[in-house]
Structure 1
Amino acid sequence: MDKLRQKHLQKWLRAQQAPIQKLMRTNIALATLSALILVAQTYFLAMLLDKLIMQNVSRNELIPYFLGLIICFTLRAVILWAREKIGFEAGRQLRNHIRQKILDKIHLVGPAIINQKPAGSWASIMLEQVENLHNFYARFLPQQSLSVIVPIVILIAVFPLNWAAALILMVTAPLIPLFMILVGIAAADSSQKNMDTLARLSAQFLDRLRGLETLRLFNRSFEQTQHIEKTTEHFRETTMDVLKLAFLSSAVLEFFTSISIALMAVYFGFSYLGQIEFGTYSTPLTLFIGFFCLILAPEFYQPLRDLGAYYHDRAAGIGAADAIVDFLETDYLTTQQNERTISLESAVEIRAENLVVLSPQGVPLTQPLNFHIPSNHNVALVGQSGAGKTSLINAILGFLPYQGSLKINGQELSESNLAEWRKHIAWVGQNPLLLQGTIKENLLLGNIQANDEEIDRALTRSQAKEFTDKLGLNYEIKDGGMGISVGQAQRLAIARALLRKGNLLLLDEPTASLDAQSENLVLQALNEMSCYQTTLMITHRIEDLKQCDHIFVMRQGEIIQCGEFAQLQREEGFFAELLTQRQQDIQ
């Protein structure tokens, strides 16, 4: 990672702290108060030692100093506890804030972008990489301010007593951040590589886990296990590189801190022996001054040492932010959100004029399309893979941008409130998503407010009631839809779409993975559904096409034929070729 990229990422990380400015300022204010109490605590301790050793003062006269020490220790402990709580809360709020920004961007770009990365990579960004930002805000940023404030407070306390001791602190202090920066440059690179390796490992492991059945059937489990083992070993090596640099930076800081403190101890030692006679403003060098300066010397470097220890958190934060910022700052063409609501008092009517669907990168995915879908019509969209059918569906859903005109009930879709528009769409895909949970919980995804009567009616119309009565609505579906058959899952998806009560029904190969019996049941349910709203279906099956009012035939991103099934069947053209090929496949 080059320096310009690191600077940009650090600038972005700092810009995100706006929601927690009050917490950060409170943390720094408490730390500054703790530094002032430390000076008072050191004063009490140095006075106690001076009076006990040099002045032989009675112990009764020292009681106020002991009480002062106890109060100072207690106050600093309370402040430390409060700072830890505030730091954790600041990190928690920032993680939630950044996760919300990622989720908002994911929601904005839609599935067209999400499907370009494995699910494990998104999980890594949302979980591990955002989690690695916590210490940057909870520890590093407050400590960066304290590494300036606390030494200044101590210098102000030391300088009036002995300028030579203060000068030693001032001269040796810059050595620590200098070497800290040198080590930190390499640490940021190592952290970024570590995050990249973790993202790849997460994606590969999740994908292999999902495809375990296929891998075992083709006897490739051992090779994939070796591949994961190799990636895991690489992740271990990058993690150890990060830790090595972290320990190296700590060792360097401890070394220079020890030398600096030793230098001050040597100065006071020779001063008490009468070998050095400067730095005291021509006043006697008392034991109080020596103890006061020597006790504060480690505390002078402690904020810098803590900053060095937390400098690894900065490197980890920059490394973790790389993928996050890359996603958040990449400009994708998206459909813009507007406040205008589409009038949907009746079924949906769709009209397209010179419609060109675009990818998020701005690449045309279709030729200019012109078509009209009347309300309450059942329309099929057919064509070979790559013809542009799914791109058109994604444009209607509002997931892909477009050029030209796409009007829903006479209103331009790009000028409409897409969130409201999607509430009126019912969707049944080729591989319906069923989440881990009960059958009822999955059905309520269509309409969270549906009552038992509505659920029962939807199950009956979707031909799913026959098996839900046996299993029960509280039957637990495992992750990935395990526990029910593909046909049962498809009928549950139809029941969920029925509960949606949408004005537009979109179907993407709803019978592609079904056996003949399940297919007939699903088609029967879909026929009933299509009577109540406008239906647009992607399909290859002849059986699905005969029931449609209209058929659009697509090839290479262009609608080349349209009409009823009987009409297109008689015409010579691409549709007739598709029918012939389909009949040969069936035979």
Structure 2
Amino acid sequence: MDKQLQRDLTKWLKSQSKLAKRWLMLSIGLGFLSGVLLVGQAALLAHILHQLIIEHTDKYELVDSFIGLILIVGLRAGCSWGREIFGYRCGEQIRLHIRQLILNRLHNLGPAYIKGKPAGTWASLVLEQVEEMQDFFARYIPQMSIAVLVPLVILFAVFPLNWAAGLIFLITAPLVPIFMALVGLGAADANRRNFKALQRLSGHFYDRLQGLSTLRLFSRAEAEADNLHAASHILRKRTMEVLRLAFLSSAVLEFFSAISVAIVAVYFGFAFIGELNFGNYGVPLSLFTGLFVLVLAPEFYQPLRDLGTFYHAKAQAIGAAESIVEFLNAEADEMAQGDEELPSPETIHISVRDLEVLSPQGQVLAGPLSFDIQAHEQVALVGPSGAGKTSLLNALLGFLPYRGSLKINGVELKQLDHSEWRQTISWVGQNPLLVHGTVRDNITLGNPLATDDHVTQVAQQAYADEFISRLEKGYDHQVGDRSGGLSVGQAQRIAVARAMLQNGAFWLLDEPTASLDANSEHLVLESLAMAVKEQTTLMVSHRLDQLTAMDRVLVLENGKLVQNGHFDHIRQQGLLADMLAHTDKRDLDA
């Protein structure tokens, strides 16, 4: 990874820590207090041993010192517990914020952008990669301050007693972070590769899991299993690479810390036997001083060793942040929205002038288009696959950016509050999504406050009540994700009932009878005909026999509007005539 990129990502991560400054300061404060108590603990322990060994003081005279030592140990344990709690709260608050940033960005980019990548990739981004930042904020960031503050406290305590020991501490201390940085140079790259492999494996596995039936039918299950095995092997290698660097970093830190403590011990050993006579300011070296410094010696390096232990958390966070920051800063056009209220929401009129529908990357998907949909008018939208019908619907729903003019009741869609605009839309798609929950939950998805009588009424109007009443638990029947447990026709009728319950002034129908058998298609069309009566309607359909009931037909080809008029007026010429001819030919062949 480029060093400048690492610095930028580290800067971004640290800027996020400001959001939990209170928890961060509490964690650092308890760490500093623990360091101060540590000096007191070392002083009491050295005092007790000096009195017992050198002064031969009766142990009962040292009861106060023993009690003080126990209290300090207890206080330090409380500080450690508090640091863990406050550090966790710090990481939790920041993770929630980062996850919200990602979700807000996904919300602004819309479904069209989300479908451009496998669902497993988004799951990895929102879940695993955000979670990997916990230790960076909970431990590494507070430890950076503690690794400076606690050694300074120890130096201030040691230098007045023995300048030689203090000088050894001062000279050897930089060795730990220097070698920590040298070992950790490749850690961020290793973690970045690990997260990339995890994203690929997550997306690959999720997509293959969805298409398992197709893979088995075409005898590709074993081949895809081999591909998953290869992808998992790459992830395993990346993970072991990260662990190897983490263990290497810890070993190096332990080695240099041990050498530094040994130098201090050797100095005091030679000083006690009279071979070294410097460092004690000309006064005799006491057992208290030697014990005090030797007890503090490993503790002097401990904050630096802990920082090294948590250094892999920084590398993990940088590796995770790369994909997150890349996504947050990706150049993609978001669908702009304002906060204006929709005038007269009970009646919808749509005016389109020189409209160009854009992809999130700025490519023109359809347009320029110019047409009107009058209030209470029922309009059909037809055209071959790839003509731009879905892109136009996504623009109307506020899911894709556009250029030109798209006005709803005289107000530009970009200026409207999209959530309010969508409340006026009753939408039925070709692949209805039923969420995990009961049948009632799915019908009341857009109107949770609806009464049971109202739910039953719309279910009867959508011809859904006939099969719901046969279910063991009726409206309390549990429905799995992706309509699990119901047929396509049954799910579609529930979707129609849901749209009826929302009772929008603008009905948007996207192939509402696709994949339905003749009986289900008849029932759905009959219920829709009653529902959309006297409502503004735009219906996408490949069934040309459904066009005779529409007030007007819009025909798209290659993103352009090539025909616009009543079915009887335009059926004899142009693209619609060709489509009708192909339909008639297929019917004759059948």
Distance 2:411 2:146 in 1: 58
Deviation at 1:532, TM superposition (A): 4.2
> In structure 1, what is the Cα distance between the partners aligned to 2:416 and 2:441?
31
Q: For structure 1, which segment, 163-172 or 85-94, has the greater mean C-alpha deviation from structure 2 after superposition?
A: 85-94
Q: What code does the residue aligned with 1:520 have?
A: H
Query: Is 42-51 or 469-478 further displaced after alignment?
Result: 469-478
Q: Give the 5 Å matches for 1:272-291.
A: 272-291=272-291
**CA distance in structure 2 between the aligned counterparts of 1:261 and 1:354, rounded to whole angstroms:** 77
Q: CA deviation at 1:516?
A: 1.1
Could you tell me how far 1:540 is from its partner in structure 2?
A: 0.8
C-alpha deviations, 1:314-347, integer Å up to 9, x for none? Answer: 1111111111111111132122231211113432
Find the counterpart in structure 2 of residue 8 from structure 1. Answer: 8
2:479 to 457, 474, 477: 477
Contact 2:337 2:413 in 1 (8 A): no
1:255 maps to a residue whose letter is F
| Paired residues of 2:554 and 2:561 also in contact (CA < 8 A) | yes
Tell me the SS of whatever aligns to 2:539: strand
For normalisation by structure 2, the TM-score amounts to: 0.98
String of CA shifts for 1:247-269, please: whole Å, max 9, x gaps: 00000000000000000000111
Match of 1:495 among 470, 494, 497: 497
Q: What is the Cα deviation at residue 436 of structure 1?
A: 2.1
Cα deviation digits, residues 128-158 of structure 1 (max 9, x gap):
1111111111111001111111111110110
Which of 545, 555, 558 is equivalent to 1:556? Answer: 558
Residue 519 of structure 1 is aligned with which of 515, 518, 521? 521
Within 2, Cα distance between the matches of 1:284 and 1:406? 91
Higher deviation after alignment, 529-538 or 267-276 = 529-538
2: distance between equivalents of 1:271 and 1:174?
25
Alignment of 1:61-460 (within 5 A): 61-460=61-460
Tell me the equivalent position of 1:531: 533
SS in 1 for 2:365: coil
Deviations 1:8-34 (A, max 9, x none): 111111111222100000110111111
Tell me if 1:580 matches 2:581: yes
Q: Offset of 1:38 from its aligned partner?
A: 0.6
Alpha-carbon offset, residue 479 of structure 1: 2.7
More deviation, 103-112/85-94: 85-94
8 Å Cα contact 1:47/1:288 also seen in 2: yes
Shift of 1:101: 1.1
Conserved in 2, the CA contact under 8 Å of 1:358 and 1:365?
A: yes
CA deviation map 1:134-190 (0-9, x unaligned): 111111100111111111111011011111101111111111111111122211111
* Cα distance in 2, alignment partners of residues 95 and 473 from structure 1: 38
* Contact 1:344 1:503 survives alignment (8 Å): no
Counterpart check, 1:509 vs 2:516? no
- Assess if the C-alpha contact under 8 Å between 1:541 and 1:582 holds in 2: no
Report SS of the residue matched to 1:467: helix
Quote the offset at 1:67 in angstroms: 1.1
Alpha-carbon offset, residue 68 of structure 1: 1.0
Tell whether the 8 Å contact from 1:463 to 1:522 is kept in structure 2 after alignment. Answer: yes
1:70-111 CA deviation, whole Å, 9 max, x = no partner?
A: 110010011111111111111111111111111111111101
- Structure 1 residue identity aligned to 2:89: E
> Secondary structure of 1:17's match?
helix
- 1:280 & 1:293 partners in 2: Cα distance? 12
Question: Any conservation in 1 of the 2:345–2:424 contact (CA below 8 Å)?
Answer: no
Q: How many residue pairs get matched?
A: 586
Give the Cα–Cα distance (whole angstroms) in 1 for the partners of residues 281 and 68 of structure 2: 29
Residues 20-99 of structure 1 mapped to structure 2, 5 A cutoff: 20-99=20-99
Q: Which residue of 2 aligns with 1:545?
A: 547
Other structure's SS at 1:354 match:
strand
Aligned-residue identity in percent:
50
Matched AA of 1:343: P
Instruction: Report how far residue 417 of structure 1 moved.
Output: 1.2
2:564 is paired with a residue whose SS is: strand
The code of the aligned residue for 2:316 comes to A
Q: Partner of 1:552: helix, strand, or coil?
A: strand
Deviations 1:365-395 (A, max 9, x none): 2221110000111111111111111111111
CA deviation after TM superposition for structure 1 residue 57, in Å = 1.1
Between the aligned partners of 2:69 and 2:345, the Cα distance in structure 1 is 76
The 1-side partners of 2:7 and 2:583 are apart by: 59
Q: Distance in 2 between matches of 1:298 and 1:344?
A: 75
Aligned residue identity for 1:576: A
The one-letter amino acid of 2:371's match is F
Question: After superposition, what is the alpha-carbon deviation per residue over 1:459-489, rounded to whole angstroms, capped at 9, x for unaligned?
Answer: 1111111101111111122232121111111
Shift in Å, 1:224: 0.7
Query: How far apart, CA to CA, are the structure 2 residues paired with 1:404 and 1:10?
Result: 41
Distance 1:209 1:364 in 2: 33
Encode CA deviations 1:509-539: one digit per residue, 9 max, x unaligned: 1111111111111111111121142111111
> Do 1:30 and 1:83's aligned partners in 2 also have CA atoms closer than 8 Å?
yes
Contact residue 554 and residue 565 of structure 2 kept, 8 A:
yes
Task: Give the counterpart letter for 1:531 in structure 2.
Answer: K
Does the CA-based 8 Å contact 2:447-2:501 persist in structure 1? yes
SS of 1:441's partner is helix
Matched-pair contact (CA < 8 Å) for 2:161–2:289? yes
Separation in 2, partners of 1:441, 1:346: 25
Output the amino acid matched with 2:470: K
Deviations 1:199-238 (A, max 9, x none): 1111111111111111111111100111111111111111
Contact persistence 1:347–1:503 (CA under 8 A): yes
Q: Which runs of 5+ in 2 are unaligned?
A: none
Tell me which amino acid in the other structure corresponds to 2:343. S
CA distance in 2, matches of 1:573, 1:214: 38
SS, match of residue 207 in structure 2:
helix
Task: For 2:43 and 2:23, locate their aligned partners in 1 and report how far apart those are by CA, in whole Å.
Answer: 30
**Inter-partner Cα distance in structure 1 for 2:585 and 2:314:** 64
Calculate the TM-score normalised by the size of structure 1.
0.98
Secondary structure of 2:13's counterpart equals helix
Structure 2 CA distance for partners of 1:318 and 1:379, relative to 1, 3 Å: same
Counterparts of 1:183 and 1:348 in 2: how far apart (Å)?
Answer: 65
